[in-house]
Amino acid sequence: MRQIRPGLHGWANEMNAWSLGRWVAVMALATALAACSSSKPAAQNPQAGTGPGGMNEGNLGSGGGSSLSQFQHGTLGAPGSGGPLTDIHFDFDDYTIRPQDGEILRNNARWLTDHGNTRVQVEGHTDERGSEEYNLALGAKRAQAAKDYLTTLGVSSDRISTISYGKELPLCTEHDEDCWAQNRRDHFVVQGAQ
Protein backbone atom coordinates (compact mmCIF):
# COMPACT_ATOMS: atom_id res chain seq x y z
CA MET A 1 0.00 0.00 0.00
CA ARG A 2 1.22 3.43 -0.77
CA GLN A 3 0.08 6.95 -0.63
CA ILE A 4 -0.74 8.49 -3.94
CA ARG A 5 0.03 12.07 -4.81
CA PRO A 6 -2.87 14.45 -4.63
CA GLY A 7 -1.79 15.94 -7.90
CA LEU A 8 -2.94 12.82 -9.67
CA HIS A 9 -6.63 13.15 -9.02
CA GLY A 10 -9.21 14.93 -7.01
CA TRP A 11 -9.99 17.71 -9.44
CA ALA A 12 -13.56 18.06 -8.23
CA ASN A 13 -12.81 18.17 -4.52
CA GLU A 14 -10.18 20.82 -5.07
CA MET A 15 -12.64 23.31 -6.45
CA ASN A 16 -13.08 25.07 -3.16
CA ALA A 17 -9.37 25.47 -2.69
CA TRP A 18 -8.92 26.77 -6.21
CA SER A 19 -11.88 29.07 -5.95
CA LEU A 20 -10.37 30.53 -2.83
CA GLY A 21 -7.00 30.85 -4.52
CA ARG A 22 -8.59 32.58 -7.47
CA TRP A 23 -10.44 34.96 -5.19
CA VAL A 24 -7.24 35.78 -3.35
CA ALA A 25 -5.48 36.40 -6.68
CA VAL A 26 -8.30 38.65 -7.85
CA MET A 27 -8.18 40.62 -4.63
CA ALA A 28 -4.39 40.93 -4.90
CA LEU A 29 -4.74 42.21 -8.45
CA ALA A 30 -7.44 44.65 -7.41
CA THR A 31 -5.21 45.94 -4.64
CA ALA A 32 -2.31 46.31 -7.05
CA LEU A 33 -4.50 48.17 -9.50
CA ALA A 34 -5.74 50.49 -6.80
CA ALA A 35 -2.15 51.21 -5.80
CA CYS A 36 -1.21 51.70 -9.43
CA SER A 37 -4.01 54.12 -10.19
CA SER A 38 -3.45 56.13 -7.04
CA SER A 39 0.22 56.69 -7.84
CA LYS A 40 -0.43 57.35 -11.53
CA PRO A 41 -3.73 59.16 -11.75
CA ALA A 42 -3.21 60.10 -15.37
CA ALA A 43 -3.30 56.50 -16.43
CA GLN A 44 -7.05 56.63 -15.95
CA ASN A 45 -7.38 59.81 -17.99
CA PRO A 46 -8.07 59.26 -21.69
CA GLN A 47 -6.76 62.76 -22.43
CA ALA A 48 -3.43 62.09 -20.80
CA GLY A 49 -0.42 63.17 -22.77
CA THR A 50 -2.45 64.68 -25.59
CA GLY A 51 -3.35 68.16 -24.27
CA PRO A 52 -1.23 71.19 -23.72
CA GLY A 53 -0.77 70.11 -20.11
CA GLY A 54 0.94 66.92 -21.26
CA MET A 55 4.22 67.80 -19.62
CA ASN A 56 2.93 67.83 -16.08
CA GLU A 57 3.87 65.13 -13.65
CA GLY A 58 0.45 63.60 -13.66
CA ASN A 59 0.91 62.41 -17.20
CA LEU A 60 4.13 60.50 -16.70
CA GLY A 61 2.32 57.27 -16.14
CA SER A 62 0.41 57.45 -19.39
CA GLY A 63 0.90 54.39 -21.48
CA GLY A 64 -0.83 52.07 -19.07
CA GLY A 65 2.21 50.54 -17.41
CA SER A 66 4.16 47.48 -18.45
CA SER A 67 3.33 45.34 -21.46
CA LEU A 68 2.38 42.56 -19.05
CA SER A 69 -0.05 44.86 -17.29
CA GLN A 70 -1.48 45.93 -20.65
CA PHE A 71 -1.81 42.30 -21.69
CA GLN A 72 -3.62 41.57 -18.44
CA HIS A 73 -6.06 44.38 -19.20
CA GLY A 74 -6.44 43.50 -22.85
CA THR A 75 -4.92 46.79 -24.00
CA LEU A 76 -1.55 45.59 -25.30
CA GLY A 77 -0.95 47.25 -28.65
CA ALA A 78 -4.02 49.48 -28.36
CA PRO A 79 -3.68 53.05 -29.72
CA GLY A 80 -2.40 55.48 -27.13
CA SER A 81 -0.85 52.78 -24.99
CA GLY A 82 2.69 53.66 -25.97
CA GLY A 83 3.67 56.25 -23.38
CA PRO A 84 6.02 59.21 -23.91
CA LEU A 85 9.00 57.18 -25.11
CA THR A 86 9.31 55.49 -28.49
CA ASP A 87 10.02 51.82 -29.15
CA ILE A 88 13.08 50.68 -31.07
CA HIS A 89 13.28 47.55 -33.22
CA PHE A 90 15.76 44.81 -34.03
CA ASP A 91 16.82 42.41 -36.76
CA PHE A 92 16.05 38.71 -36.34
CA ASP A 93 18.09 36.99 -33.60
CA ASP A 94 20.07 40.21 -33.13
CA TYR A 95 20.38 42.74 -30.34
CA THR A 96 22.55 45.46 -31.86
CA ILE A 97 21.05 48.95 -31.98
CA ARG A 98 20.30 49.78 -35.62
CA PRO A 99 21.62 53.16 -36.90
CA GLN A 100 18.09 54.44 -37.56
CA ASP A 101 17.12 53.70 -33.96
CA GLY A 102 19.99 55.78 -32.53
CA GLU A 103 17.94 58.94 -33.15
CA ILE A 104 14.97 57.44 -31.28
CA LEU A 105 17.20 56.58 -28.35
CA ARG A 106 18.66 60.09 -28.33
CA ASN A 107 15.11 61.50 -28.16
CA ASN A 108 14.24 59.08 -25.40
CA ALA A 109 17.40 60.05 -23.53
CA ARG A 110 16.52 63.73 -23.93
CA TRP A 111 13.06 63.14 -22.48
CA LEU A 112 14.54 61.23 -19.57
CA THR A 113 17.06 64.03 -18.96
CA ASP A 114 14.22 66.57 -18.97
CA HIS A 115 12.30 64.42 -16.49
CA GLY A 116 15.06 63.68 -14.09
CA ASN A 117 12.77 62.42 -11.36
CA THR A 118 11.53 59.47 -13.41
CA ARG A 119 12.68 55.92 -13.79
CA VAL A 120 12.31 53.81 -16.90
CA GLN A 121 11.99 50.08 -17.42
CA VAL A 122 13.27 48.80 -20.76
CA GLU A 123 11.31 45.77 -21.95
CA GLY A 124 12.99 43.46 -24.45
CA HIS A 125 10.69 41.53 -26.79
CA THR A 126 11.23 39.06 -29.63
CA ASP A 127 9.22 37.64 -32.47
CA GLU A 128 7.53 34.26 -32.22
CA ARG A 129 10.22 32.34 -34.05
CA GLY A 130 12.70 30.42 -31.96
CA SER A 131 12.30 28.80 -28.59
CA GLU A 132 10.69 30.46 -25.58
CA GLU A 133 13.69 30.31 -23.26
CA TYR A 134 16.24 31.44 -25.84
CA ASN A 135 13.94 34.33 -26.70
CA LEU A 136 13.74 35.36 -23.05
CA ALA A 137 17.52 35.59 -23.02
CA LEU A 138 17.54 37.40 -26.37
CA GLY A 139 14.97 39.90 -25.09
CA ALA A 140 17.21 40.53 -22.08
CA LYS A 141 20.11 41.26 -24.46
CA ARG A 142 17.93 43.75 -26.35
CA ALA A 143 16.83 45.51 -23.18
CA GLN A 144 20.41 45.67 -21.95
CA ALA A 145 21.60 47.08 -25.30
CA ALA A 146 19.18 50.01 -24.98
CA LYS A 147 20.10 50.53 -21.34
CA ASP A 148 23.78 50.69 -22.25
CA TYR A 149 23.04 53.14 -25.07
CA LEU A 150 20.96 55.42 -22.83
CA THR A 151 23.69 55.30 -20.22
CA THR A 152 26.30 56.44 -22.71
CA LEU A 153 23.96 59.36 -23.50
CA GLY A 154 24.13 60.43 -19.88
CA VAL A 155 21.07 58.81 -18.33
CA SER A 156 22.09 57.36 -14.97
CA SER A 157 22.02 53.57 -14.98
CA ASP A 158 20.31 53.71 -11.57
CA ARG A 159 17.23 55.04 -13.33
CA ILE A 160 17.05 52.24 -15.90
CA SER A 161 15.85 48.73 -15.15
CA THR A 162 15.41 45.94 -17.67
CA ILE A 163 13.03 43.03 -18.12
CA SER A 164 12.57 40.50 -20.90
CA TYR A 165 9.24 39.10 -22.01
CA GLY A 166 10.78 37.11 -24.85
CA LYS A 167 8.11 36.10 -27.37
CA GLU A 168 5.33 36.04 -24.78
CA LEU A 169 3.73 39.44 -25.38
CA PRO A 170 3.51 40.10 -29.12
CA LEU A 171 1.96 43.36 -30.32
CA CYS A 172 0.95 41.68 -33.53
CA THR A 173 -0.14 38.07 -33.89
CA GLU A 174 0.01 37.41 -37.61
CA HIS A 175 2.66 34.93 -38.70
CA ASP A 176 4.53 37.08 -41.21
CA GLU A 177 7.61 39.29 -41.40
CA ASP A 178 5.64 42.55 -41.00
CA CYS A 179 4.33 41.31 -37.72
CA TRP A 180 7.60 39.78 -36.57
CA ALA A 181 9.40 43.06 -37.28
CA GLN A 182 6.91 44.95 -35.05
CA ASN A 183 7.35 42.42 -32.28
CA ARG A 184 11.17 42.50 -32.20
CA ARG A 185 11.25 45.60 -30.03
CA ASP A 186 12.39 47.39 -26.92
CA HIS A 187 9.51 49.13 -25.18
CA PHE A 188 10.16 51.87 -22.63
CA VAL A 189 7.89 52.17 -19.60
CA VAL A 190 8.16 55.34 -17.55
CA GLN A 191 7.71 54.46 -13.93
CA GLY A 192 7.18 57.84 -12.29
CA ALA A 193 9.21 59.56 -9.63
CA GLN A 194 12.20 57.83 -8.08
Partner 1 sequence: MILFSERRAQALIGWGVALMLAAVTLGLRNAAADEITFTIVGPAKVSRIAVSQLKNLGGDDDGTVSGQFIHTLKRDLQLSGFFKIIDPHSYIEKAQDSGFTLGQFNFADWSSLGAEFLVKGSVTANEQQISIQAFLFDVAAQRQMAGKQYTGSNEDVSRMANRFADTILQQVTGTKGPFDSRIAMVSARGGRFKQIYTMDVDGGNLYKVTNNDTINLFPSFDRRVHRVLYTSYKSGAPGLYVYELDTRREIRIPSPGGSLIGGTMMPGGDSVVAAVEAGGATNLYLLGLDGTVLRQLTHGASINVSPAVSPDGSQLAFTSDRGGSPQVYVMSISGGAARRLTYKGNYNTNPAFSPDGTQIAYQSRSGGAFEIYRIPAGGGSPLLVTQGQHPAWSPDGRYIAFSIGRGSGLGLYLIQGQGGTVVGNLTTQEDGNATDPAWSSWLGE
Binding site for partner 1 (CB under 8 A): 1-11, 17-18, 21-22, 25, 29, 66, 68, 71-72, 93, 95, 128-134, 136-138, 140-141, 143-145, 162-165, 168-169, 175
- Shortest gap between Cβ of 170 and partner 1 (angstroms)? 12
Task: Please give the C-alpha separations between residue 53 and each of 49, 50, 59, 101, 117, in angstroms, as whole numbers.
Answer: 7, 8, 8, 28, 18
- Please report how close the Cβ of residue 96 comes to partner 1 at its closest, in angstroms: 12
Q: Do residues 123 and 78 lie in contact, with contact meaning Cβ atoms separated by under 8 Å?
A: no
Nearer to partner 1, 2 or 46 (CB): 2
6-34 in b/e form (b: 16+ CB < 10 A) is eeeeeeeeeeeeeeeeeeeeeeeeeeeee
| 182 closest CA partner among 129, 127, 111 | 127
Least distance from partner 1 to the Cβ atom of residue 2, Å: 7
Cα pseudo-dihedral 37, 86, 160, 76, rounded to 10: 40
Closer Cβ to partner 1, 115 or 142, answer by number = 142
Q: Is the dihedral of CA 82, 86, 91, 96 positive or negative?
A: negative
The nearer residue to partner 1, 45 or 69, going by C-beta atoms, is 69
Smallest distance, partner 1 to C-beta of residue 25, A: 6
Cβ-based nearer residue to partner 1, 42 or 138 = 138
* Shorter beta-carbon distance to partner 1: residue 17 or 78: 17
Rounded to the nearest whole angstrom, what is the least distance from the CB of residue 162 to partner 1 in the complex?
A: 8
